[in-house]
Amino acid sequence: MLRVIVRRLLQLVVTLIALSALIFIWLRNLPGGPVEALLGERATPERRALLTKALGYDQPILVQYGKFMQRVVTGDFGNSIRSGDPVTDVISRAFPATIELALAAMIIAVGLGVPLGYLAARWRGRSLDNLTIAGTLLGISIPIFFLGYLLKDVFTQNIHWFPPSGRLTTGLDNTNVTGFFVLDGLLTREFDASADALWHLILPAITLATIPLAVIVRITRASVLDVLNEDYVRTAEAKGLRHRTIRGRHILRNALLPVVTTIGLQTGALLSGAVLTEKVYNWGGIGTLITDSISGGRDYPVLQAIILLAALVFVVVNLLVDLSYAFIDPRVRVR
Amino acid sequence: MSLLDVRDLSVVFQRRGERPFTAVDKVSFTVEPGQTVGLVGESGCGKSVTSLAIMGLLPKRGNKVTGEVLFEDTDLLKLRPDDMRDRRGREISMIFQDPLSSLNPVIPIGVQVAEVLERHQGRDRKQALREARDLLDAVGIPDPQRRLSEYPHQISGGMRQRALIAIALACKPRLLIADEPTTALDVTIQAQILTLLKQLVDETGTALVMITHDLGVVAGLCDTVNVLYGGKVVERARRHELFAHARHPYTHGLLNSVPRLDSPRGERLHAIRGSVSDNIPWAEGCAFAPRCDNVVDACLEGPPPLEPTATGGDLRCNNPVSEEVAVR
């Protein structure tokens, strides 16, 4: 087991190095750039050359990359070109917001998706099943930004159930401990702040959860249908076991194997979905930071760090998924 | 009073848009306490469906079960599903054909045995596991303590079937239904498993319904044999009666198609011609008629009735094989 983890971590390092090179070259070849953004279109060529040199962008790309990697190893990602703050600070302010949103979305997707998928399978061909299938098709096909604006319009303009944007009501102060506002409120016993943060969280989380929810329902349904036909479920019935024992111990535990894999793969969808969702609800997380860093003049240092971070999250989540797989299925452990 | 009295059991599968399919057609047989009864026939004759119907394990939808399954005078078909659930695994148990797929791959063997005891005997996990170890020991699994925490893929096929037998017999049921328990096993292991089953039912007094297509299994184990063809019982006899004087042409053919070590070299194996048809044409006469060497006109006019024979069995045939003709 330990050897597997070590090997996977080494793979992770290689992946990240390769990815960082790709991002570096890709970003540098995008049209426009920080120099143009900082100086405006009408700057003289002399001033441009001066700033380009000052930022170090005149050097060969390999040299730039080498210097970048040298600093990254020490944990220094440079300073944001837009704000001048260290990139690590900029990101650590935005990161918890996105994680909070993504976690909430995943809780909704799994918490609702697994039971729905199970019920649809159990009642295959009945109206609940047909309704679920139709619903998931809709959920997969509907664009996030459209759903986001739709929900926002209905629930914040027509019916004033939820706040339209942000993570907290303006004027309400909370103590920042972890950056997860709902959790912070609980830790510092500022329960009103916690409730307010949760209230702000619901609509964005639902928006972001739609696609993973639809996927998880479908995977769970298909997987439960497979397991229901297995001989060991018949054996469990022949033993006269109670429904809930058969459901929990014999059906779900086997049926969840593919679902767990899906959860890992959906992390990617969540990260990209977060960009759009955060834009709609002005969430102020990594997604907002990405869009701002691109449109606000190619903030190379911030963008590089964010994309690396996103890749790191994706790979680590999938590593955890693989490890939990071995935990759930003893047949995987032997290898 | 018989332990199990199956009367006119029929199972009709009905899917939307398809013609109903009669898998089991008015099957009746009895099992006395402690007795071993065989249900014999080739694939598709309805023997497995019969056993699943008795156990109440057929799918809830898409089939119609009629008749009576009297277990100590209680009609199992009329029980509420939860009452039947209370009896399954405790009073009536079943073991299946493929021991690997019949065990849950992600649950340790010990828990799979123990959960029956927890469910029906009210044991806690610790006590149940201790009893599970003794059960594994009793079915001849070496090093039972270690097996408790092992998973099905870690033990051999023979041991898996032993574990399933331990599960089935954990609550000392009065009836055990074994659906081709040795088909998926090596020949050498088959004999061991059959010997074990025989020994266990003898020790505990459990009655056994043995479902098989293997006449060798019948010869070694069964007191009474029911031969099924096309969902109906075509012949019923005491074991020795059946092997000495099979009357039904189908049974006769089955016995003759068993390869023998003492047959002359190079002699071709005897086979029953044709194969079992998909829909059972009992309505238009004897279902076996198209494959039968003894067919007479009456066979094509309607299904022959099941009638008692002089030797105490039953026979459904217009033109049976003469009693004088011994099986080869």
Would you state the pLDDT for residue A233? 95
Structural domains in chain A, sorted by start: 1-73 (no CATH), 85-331 (1.10.3720.10)
CA distance B217 to chain A (A): 23
What residue in B sits closest to A232 (Cα-Cα)? B102
**Which distant-in-sequence residues (6+ apart) come within 8 Å of A179 by Cβ?**
A92, A93, A95, A96, A97, A100
Would you state the pLDDT for residue B277? 63
CA distance B128 to chain A (A): 15
**Which pLDDT tens digit goes with each residue over A99-139?**
999 999 999 999 999 999 999 999 888 888 999 999 999 98
Q: Which residues of B touch A325 (CB under 8 A)?
A: none
Length of chain A: 335
Q: Walk along chain B (328 residues) and give the pLDDT tens digit of each residue.
A: 789 999 999 999 988 888 888 899 899 999 999 999 999 988 888 899 999 999 999 988 889 999 999 999 899 999 999 999 999 999 999 999 899 999 999 999 999 999 999 999 999 999 999 999 999 999 999 999 999 999 999 999 899 999 999 999 999 999 999 999 988 888 888 888 999 999 988 888 899 999 998 888 888 889 999 999 988 999 999 998 888 888 899 998 888 887 777 777 777 777 787 776 655 568 788 888 888 888 888 888 888 889 998 888 899 998 888 876 655 5
B228 with B22: CB under 8 angstroms?
A: no
Contacts with B, A 251-290, CB within 8 Å = 253-254
As a whole number, mean pLDDT of residues A28-43 equals: 77
How far is the C-alpha of B141 from the C-alpha of B184, rounded, in Å? Answer: 18
A326 with A111: CB under 8 angstroms?
A: no
| pLDDT band at residue A335 under the 50/70/90 scheme | very low
Does the distance separating the beta carbons of B57 and A231 come in below 8 Å?
A: no
Using the Cβ of A235 and the Cβ atoms of chain B, whether some distance falls under 8 Å is answered with yes
Q: What is the DSSP letter of A250?
A: I
Using the Cβ of B232 and the Cβ atoms of chain A, whether some distance falls under 8 Å is answered with no
CA distance A230 to chain B (A): 7
CA distance A205 to chain B (A): 34
CA distance A112 to chain B (A): 25
CA distance B292 to chain A (A): 36
Does the distance separating the beta carbons of A254 and B57 come in below 8 Å?
A: no
**Which pLDDT tens digit goes with each residue over A49-88?**
888 888 888 888 888 888 888 888 888 888 888 888 899 9
Does the distance separating the beta carbons of A235 and B119 come in below 8 Å?
A: no
Would you state the pLDDT for residue B258? 78
* Segment (H or E) for A245: helix A243-245
Give the residue among A109, A117, A329 at the shortest CA–CA distance from A224. Answer: A117
Does the distance separating the beta carbons of A239 and B116 come in below 8 Å?
A: yes
Would you state the pLDDT for residue B71? 94
How far is the C-alpha of A284 from the C-alpha of A91, rounded, in Å? Answer: 11
Using the Cβ of A246 and the Cβ atoms of chain B, whether some distance falls under 8 Å is answered with no
Q: Which residues of B touch A238 (CB under 8 A)?
A: 55, 57, 88-89, 93-94, 96, 168
Using the Cβ of A242 and the Cβ atoms of chain B, whether some distance falls under 8 Å is answered with yes
Residue with tokens 């898996």: B160
Give the residue among B287, B298, B306 at the shortest CA–CA distance from B247. Answer: B306
Give the residue among A290, A319, A292 at the shortest CA–CA distance from A23. Answer: A290
Reduced to 3 states, what is the DSSP secondary structure of residue A189? coil
CA distance A268 to chain B (A): 29
Does the distance separating the beta carbons of B98 and A232 come in below 8 Å?
A: no
Using the Cβ of A329 and the Cβ atoms of chain B, whether some distance falls under 8 Å is answered with yes
How far is the first Cα of chain B from the last one, in angstroms, to the nearest whole number?
A: 38
How far is the C-alpha of A318 from the C-alpha of A190, rounded, in Å? Answer: 35
Q: Rounded mean pLDDT of chain A?
A: 87
CA distance A243 to chain B (A): 9
Does the distance separating the beta carbons of A241 and B106 come in below 8 Å?
A: no
Asked if pLDDT for residue A307 goes beyond 50, the answer is yes
Does the distance separating the beta carbons of B105 and A232 come in below 8 Å?
A: yes
Read off φ and ψ for residue A29, nearest 5 degrees. -95, 0
Does the distance separating the beta carbons of B115 and A240 come in below 8 Å?
A: no
How far is the C-alpha of A231 from the C-alpha of A250, rounded, in Å? Answer: 11
Rounded-to-5 percentages of helix, strand, coil across chain B: 35, 20, 40
Give the residue among A278, A296, A272 at the shortest CA–CA distance from A94. Answer: A278
Using the Cβ of A237 and the Cβ atoms of chain B, whether some distance falls under 8 Å is answered with yes
Give the residue among B293, B267, B229, B307 at the shortest CA–CA distance from B40. Answer: B229
Would you state the pLDDT for residue B327? 59
Of B57, B86, B106, the CB nearest to A237: B57
Using the Cβ of B167 and the Cβ atoms of chain A, whether some distance falls under 8 Å is answered with yes
CA distance A250 to chain B (A): 7
Does the distance separating the beta carbons of B102 and A254 come in below 8 Å?
A: no
Residue with tokens 């809709």: A138
- Which tokens in the block code for residue B57? 């394990």
Q: What is the ipTM of this complex?
A: 0.89
- Which tokens in the block code for residue B100? 């690997």
Q: Which residues of B touch A236 (CB under 8 A)?
A: 104
Q: Which residues of A touch B85 (CB under 8 A)?
A: 240-242
CA dihedral A51, A54, A55, A57 (to 10 degrees): 80
Asked if pLDDT for residue A234 goes beyond 80, the answer is yes
A144 with A211: CB under 8 angstroms?
A: yes
Cα angle, residue B205 at apex, residues B200 and B208 outer, rounded to 5°: 70
- Which tokens in the block code for residue A276? 């759009």
Does the distance separating the beta carbons of A238 and B88 come in below 8 Å?
A: yes
Least confident stretch, A31-40, A98-107, A227-236, B119-128: A31-40
Cβ-Cβ contacts under 8 Å between A and B: the total is: 77
Residue with tokens 């019916």: A159
Would you state the pLDDT for residue A320? 86
Reduced to 3 states, what is the DSSP secondary structure of residue A54? helix
Cβ neighbours of A280 (radius 10 Å) = 23
B250 with B227: CB under 8 angstroms?
A: yes
- In a mutagenesis test of the A interface, which of B106, B115, B148, B183 is the best target, namely the one with the most A β-carbons within 10 Å? B106
What residue in B sits closest to A235 (Cα-Cα)? B102
